[in-house]
Structure 1
Amino acid sequence: MEQSGTSTLLQGAVRDLATSVASALRGGGHGTVAGEAVAAGAGDGLVVAAARVLGADLMLPHVLFRTPPAPEELAVFRQAVEAHPPRADAAPTVRWSHWAMRRTLGRLTSPLDEPHMGGEDPADAEPDATWLDDAPWQTLAHQLSVLAALAVPGEDCAVARAARRRPVDVARGFVRAVRRRDWGQAAGAGRWLTLLDGVPATLGLEAGLDFVDLMGGSDPRVALQVRAARLFGTETLVGRP
């Protein structure tokens, strides 16, 4: 019962953070993107764990709009990166999620536009992504949706390159997720599709995202993904490539 209660609390904390991030995306990245929970949460294990679950997307408004995070936000995000490194037997998606968080932390703390990646620290190296090369399209779409935090304009990494090589398969995964009413996967795949060339025009991505938002937008993590996807299709981002 205690474990179940902790899980429920964590899910609620993740929803709260996702709601605040989605709101910040609508507002152009101004203010404290993760709300009062993060501003007061330095050292709070539940908030740090929730930040870890949300991953690099916790700082997405600041990355997209190039607005500085509040010190409290950055402290919680740094804690989430440093307190929960992937284990030796961690799944590839866990390794990539951690890498994305480290990369985002570098972006936000570097005095330059480019993050300090590829240096001497082995943790800065990209994880292996060859497992995506021959993955069935269903698996590819699912894994990319899990790693939707890597779908950012101008991002170049092995996962993004794998997505760019298979736009039709990602589109098939989007359609499959919609048909299965898996709004989380559909929103994640849709976010990737807004950044890919070669997406079939017959897909009707914009209308599809509207439908995903209508049906699944009450889930703040779905709302976050859809809002990000819509931003990627506009010219409103600061420094858009």
Structure 2
Amino acid sequence: MKKVLVMPCLDIKEGRVVKGVQFVNLRDAGDPVECTRTYCENGADELAFLDITATLEKRKTTLDVVRRVAGVTTVPFTVGGGIATLADAEAVLAAGADRVSISSAGYRHPELLEEAAKRFGSEKVVVAIDADKNPSLPSGYEVYIDGGKTATGTDAVEWAKQAEARGAGIILPTSKACDGAKSGYDLPLIKGIKDAVQVPVIASGGAGKMEHFLEAVKIGGADILLAASVFHFGEIIIADLKKYLRDNGVATA
């Protein structure tokens, strides 16, 4: 049985951890270094760090914060936000990240994914896909870029397949509608992508209770379980979640 990993997500704005609902209405959730220490102590298997306004503000990821987090983390961590070139990816990895997450730039310039996979290895390349429902597309989901602001007209599952073919080692789909709503992950989106690719898929957007994590594995087929606000605000403790998953037949690391 595969071991499912738990991945808290630090959404970073102006050097602080923040969390919103459907990508807006952000509220402060603490210092990223302190959050990282706590999550590592509580049993996190991975960590995500997303500089959520970097792309919209047309700037690079805040490398000083990446370095500070790298200095205290005891688990692998993935960094995204504002990574638009191979040099950006190289700088983030040099600052201590284990993987880079590429979204808008990878969509606009798919050759970036090929170059990054060739330079660093596919295992270090995560492709993040923000998606929302669009019944006119084959999968029913459309890719959004620029922090979820710009519709592309592209089918999300088809883009996941292309991203894998270009070199993505992990796919990270996030449902715009479910993000921060705590009503559960978008299971059809996760399952649609999981069924279409061979690489690991991260469930993201919508976890509000432990049952949602279990559904993401048993129904969606997710390999990694990402969440933010339920961890940031102490609603779910990672160690308790992992025990719950094990008690319900899901192996954890």
TM-score by length of 2: 0.28
Q: Greater strand share, 1 or 2?
A: 2
Structure ranking higher in helix proportion: 1
Bigger Rg, which one? 1
TM-score, reference length from structure 1: 0.29
